[in-house]
Structure 1
């Protein structure tokens, strides 16, 4: 007499298999998430390299770095690099004598203007903030900003150690024109660009990530270490508080933005020699401030007003 072989699982065996699979998935998920974030961080570094290359190509053509921003007309470095980032169609339509909030840069109540075009190079893949500002002056936000060094935006005195991007004497009509010979600390020791985070709000009420607005967050300053818990200082009324601990902010008369990212443990930063490095959040303030200067020297005379804002 032959016995029939069993071909099915019992309920207990099935539950055990499901439990084992669940444990394996639980073990693998963090590794998968880590691998994905590692890939996103590398993609972000590649975008910073492309921006650095564009800066160098601009310098090769114009013999200076582009202006960080200017107030007359109101523009930032972004549109100056369009022809060096394969955005020739935007560059060909642009008018450098017109501010960013007027046509052709901005078409009221639409994203049809030049500043409203989606340019993938603007965005870090790890950030999840809003990439656009709606309303009358619609435009795109971004995650990459230039080094404004150790001085609040619009501060009327030049610090002893200058950044590659700033206003001369705090005068928005006089953007600094830096050539590489001015970087006496060495291009491999001086920050060129880093990251910022885009605001959660999609309305024109939060300047974080507002890289095409000369009053917005087109820059970072080395007055605050990367991803610090200390708040960014934003001109009153132009930010919205949120519960995101990565984006603390407070209102003040002097604008100061830290380098910030969604990467665990630090930010990507480009140096003036074109190299890109990951800078840990644990970096001390003094060496970070030194990296923000291109010609040595740190001046603390503004600190009293800053902390008494």
Structure 2
């Protein structure tokens, strides 16, 4: 065999570069498809999380005759447990729930947290959207009274949930009450507070518009976006579960004045899904001036085109960000009697 025939069996540099270029083109073509497949899987997992939460609401209702409340009055400054804490026994967290005490403890972790071994260590994957780019944990100081009970450090992390209860429509059918920078209180959704404005829980009989037409729980799984003074798009984490021991605290509590402030884990419809706000002090009550209230933080999703919601009947629906806002408002109000438009 001659040397020339041996040389013909190899690749030239040009041929090798052509092969590499073809492989690069194929990867570029396949990458979007792979990313779409991954997002489809994450969206399906998010839907499953909301399905489990929707079922937990029904199981809670079967046991207690009503949906879980978002907050309630407290004789002290210590704030009550959130609605997520209340449904823990119905979402495979019965063992953790059985270790909680509701006596002489602050679920905000600000005074004394007698549940620190649970609140500082429990992580529930089922309340985290897999597409969420934001932090999963909230860090805050641990008071000396809790450290005296055995808490190991001066700071602790608490999980932030990505799923928020629907407290109604900002312009809903039942009375709303304005309380300055603490925000407006609405009582026409699935989740209501028991306070000096309202003493009635919500149950199936109160959902006169039909449970399949009423929003119960929605996503806040992406950054809230707004325009700054220069017209540039900025982003901030305005989830309703931010601060005060993350998902464990329902806000409220304390005196009547305090009970009307800082609801947590719920939001009323005041703006559309994935809305781009006109500024940090915007008309949706979620800008810098309103960061403690968050009663009307828009439902924002990391899934393109809309957000996932659990309906009051336990089903899960992807609602487009292009839905007519009046229709979205009617879906948040459990008893306004309005006919739903296109969605």
Distance 2:316 2:279 in 1: 24
1:143 Cα offset (Å)? 0.4
Change in Cα spacing, 1:176 to 1:8, as seen in structure 2 (3 Å) is farther
RMSD: 3.0
| Alignment gaps of 5+ in structure 1 | 235-247, 299-309
1:16 corresponds, among 12, 15, 18, to 18
Contact 1:144 1:195 in 2 (8 A): yes
Answering whether residue 113 of structure 2 is matched by residue 103 of structure 1, we say: yes
1:71 Cα offset (Å)? 4.3
Change in Cα spacing, 1:25 to 1:104, as seen in structure 2 (3 Å) is same
Tell me what 1:230 maps to: 277
Change in Cα spacing, 1:171 to 1:40, as seen in structure 2 (3 Å) is farther
**Pairs within 5 Å for 1:51-62:** 51-62=53-64
Question: Which structure is richer in relative contact order (CA contacts within 8 A, separation 6 or more)?
Answer: 2
Tell me what 1:277 maps to: 317
Distance 2:241 2:321 in 1: 20
TM-score of the pair, normalised by structure 2:
0.71
Contact 1:192 1:271 in 2 (8 A): yes
Change in Cα spacing, 1:175 to 1:143, as seen in structure 2 (3 Å) is farther
Answering whether residue 192 of structure 2 is matched by residue 166 of structure 1, we say: yes
1:79 corresponds, among 82, 85, 100, to 85
Distance 1:297 1:225 in 2: 21
TM-score of the pair, normalised by structure 1:
0.78
Contact 1:52 1:274 in 2 (8 A): yes
Tell me what 1:184 maps to: 208
Answering whether residue 135 of structure 2 is matched by residue 130 of structure 1, we say: yes
Change in Cα spacing, 1:37 to 1:287, as seen in structure 2 (3 Å) is same
Distance 1:292 1:42 in 2: 23
**Pairs within 5 Å for 1:203-214:** 208-210=240-242, 211-213=247-249, 214=251
**Secondary structure of 1:263's aligned partner:** coil
Tell me what 1:140 maps to: 159
Contact 2:268 2:296 in 1 (8 A): yes
Change in Cα spacing, 1:270 to 1:223, as seen in structure 2 (3 Å) is same
Count of aligned pairs: 273
1:47 corresponds, among 37, 49, 52, to 49
Change in Cα spacing, 1:207 to 1:154, as seen in structure 2 (3 Å) is farther
**Secondary structure of 2:170's aligned partner:** coil
Query: Cα deviations across residues 232-273 of structure 1 (Å, max 9, x unaligned)?
Result: 989xxxxxxxxxxxxx84323864211111110110001000
1:67 Cα offset (Å)? 0.8
Tell me what 2:296 maps to: 256
Query: Cα deviations across residues 121-168 of structure 1 (Å, max 9, x unaligned)?
Result: 120000021111113154110101100112399646876x81111235
Distance 1:66 1:175 in 2: 13
Query: Cα deviations across residues 159-202 of structure 1 (Å, max 9, x unaligned)?
Result: 6x81111235x648x564111011000000000100113779xx
Change in Cα spacing, 1:126 to 1:158, as seen in structure 2 (3 Å) is closer
1:117 corresponds, among 111, 115, 122, to 122
Tell me what 2:267 maps to: 220
**Secondary structure of 1:149's aligned partner:** strand
Change in Cα spacing, 1:266 to 1:175, as seen in structure 2 (3 Å) is farther
Answering whether residue 329 of structure 2 is matched by residue 289 of structure 1, we say: yes
**Secondary structure of 1:42's aligned partner:** helix
